[in-house]
Amino acid sequence: MLKSFEVTALSGELDSDIQHKIDFKTKPPGSLGGLESIAFQVARIQRTLVPSLQRAQMLVFAADHGAVDQGISAFPQEVTPQMVTNFLAGGAAVSVFCRQHSVALKVVDVGVKVDLPDHPLLSKRKVAYASQDFSVAPALTLEQVNQALEAGAKEVESAEKSGVDILLFGEMGIGNTGVSSCMLSAMTGQAPEQTAGRGTGLDEQGVSRKANIIAASLQRAEAELNKSIGEWAPWEVATQVGGLEVLAMSGAMLRCAELGKPFVVDGFICTVALLFASKLQSHVVDYAIFAHQSNEQAHQALLEYFNAEPILKLDLRLGEGSGAILSYPIIQSAVAFFNEMASFESAGVSNAT
């Protein structure tokens, strides 16, 4: 069995009061657009008319994937530990943006193929030295899946103890766009041609090869499970074609929701992690703030599935949590206007008739 989580549905008890506070600010109704939706969501999650975002934490989960040996990425596998080192040294995009916005960054090793040296910003929760090549065998054991979910949950618990009130998630792992596409096909029944994209920069021939490898991997698993894609139980998706960092993000999202905390979903890979989490506890989606729509072809359809309006659309496809941290100041602004902007009554301004 998979690790269990219990996510409570958000209460609508304060909904009318929250909306009233938004509508009676000194502005025409709805004129702050998406900021109003974000403010409403954060207030609803925190169950208060004075929401607070005082301390954020960026968690980047890192792992390698056996399927990289089949050519699903434009970059070699050794780039994963090299980029983790870059994160820790402060040189990656997510490092720069976290520093700019004073958000603490932690990298969580759940499956990098090599051992990484100790570092203050590195959390060592290695489950395995990469997943298995899912084109020839199941990617993970059930025990490894549960360890990955638990690793994500434990990182959120650690952040919660230090006073963090919002979590931002990102990932690093060469080949994980292909792994996420495979997971998406397995969960939805969509053909690999619909879910596979360019990832780190594949050309059309490379995308076609990726789709073919995903298709072959799914056919292998279908034969083993005697079930068509789209009919698999969550544990079957995770063991057959899962990625350790994707599953760790799912566990982190579920624990965030259990604790009543909002979290920010980055791009395609992070949204696939949310889809998997929602298969375990559907209400987890209520706690998710969608940062951006990436340039990965399946991401727009996945956002539409969640009926999500992402904050940004900048054609990003970097991963790392880069879109999540870029969206964070806008989330802060939404809470600031909700708390600090005058009402018509307090400002002595006439309302519309």
Query: Residue 198 has what pLDDT?
Result: 78
pLDDT at 253: 99
Could you report the per-residue pLDDT of 113-154, keeping only the tens digit for each?
A: 999 999 999 999 999 999 999 999 999 999 999 999 999 999
Q: Which residues are paired to 172 by β-bridges?
A: 62
pLDDT > 70: percent of the chain: 97
Instruction: Give the pLDDT confidence of 168-181 residue by residue, as tens digits.
Output: 999 999 999 999 99
pLDDT band at 292 (very low <50, low <70, confident <90, very high): very high
With 90 as the cut, is the pLDDT of residue 350 above it? no
User: Is pLDDT of 203 > 90?
Assistant: no
Which of these is catalytic: 160, 304, 320, 340? 320
Confidence tier at 73 by pLDDT (50, 70, 90): confident
- Please state the φ and ψ torsions of residue 318, each to the nearest 5 degrees: -85, -35
8 A C-beta contact, residue 36 and residue 22 = yes
pLDDT category, 314, cuts 50, 70, 90?
very high
pLDDT band at 71 (very low <50, low <70, confident <90, very high): confident
Mean per-residue pLDDT for 45-65?
Answer: 98
- Name residues whose C-beta falls within 8 Å of residue 40's C-beta, 6 or more positions apart in sequence: 18, 19, 22
346 pLDDT tier (thresholds 50, 70, 90): confident
Pick from 274, 331, 265, 273: nearest CA to 292: 265
CB atoms within 10 A of CB 348: 8
| For range 319-331, the mean pLDDT | 97
Q: Would you state the structure tokens that stand for residue 225, as one six-digit string? A: 């499970």
- Looking at the domain assignment, is residue 43 inside a domain? no
- Rounded Cα–Cα distance for residues 225 and 240 (Å): 9
Closest among 350, 279, 264, 299 to 194, alpha carbons compared: 299
> Are residues 111 and 131 in contact, defined by beta-carbon separation less than 8 angstroms?
yes
Strands 166-172 and 122-124: what pairing? Answer: unpaired
Whole-number pLDDT of residue 202: 76
The per-residue pLDDT for 72 is 84
β-strand partners of 61: 108, 171
Let me know if residue 47 belongs to a domain: no
Structural domain containing residue 91: 56-318
Q: Is the pLDDT of residue 353 over 60?
A: no
pLDDT of residue 75: 86
Residue 217 in any domain: the answer is: yes
Residue at 16 is within a domain = no
pLDDT attached to residue 352: 62
Burial class (CB in 10 A: 0-12, 13-18, 19+), 221: buried
Residue 221: pLDDT above 90?
yes
pLDDT at residue number 204: 77
Tell me, what's the pLDDT at 98? 98
Mean pLDDT of 185-204: 85
Higher-confidence position of 3 and 75: 3
Residue pair 92/83 in contact by the 8 Å Cβ criterion: yes
Give residue 206's pLDDT: 67
Count of domains forming the chain: 1
> Does 50 reside within a domain?
no
Query: What is the average pLDDT across 273-291?
Result: 98
Active site residue 320: yes
pLDDT of res. 295:
86
Report in angstroms the alpha-carbon separations of 108 from 12, 32, 189, 289: 35, 36, 31, 21
Average pLDDT over every residue of 191-216: 83
CATH of residue 292: 3.40.50.10210
Which of residues 271 and 295 earns the better pLDDT score?
Answer: 271
Mean pLDDT of 91-118: 98
pLDDT, average across residues 74-101: 96
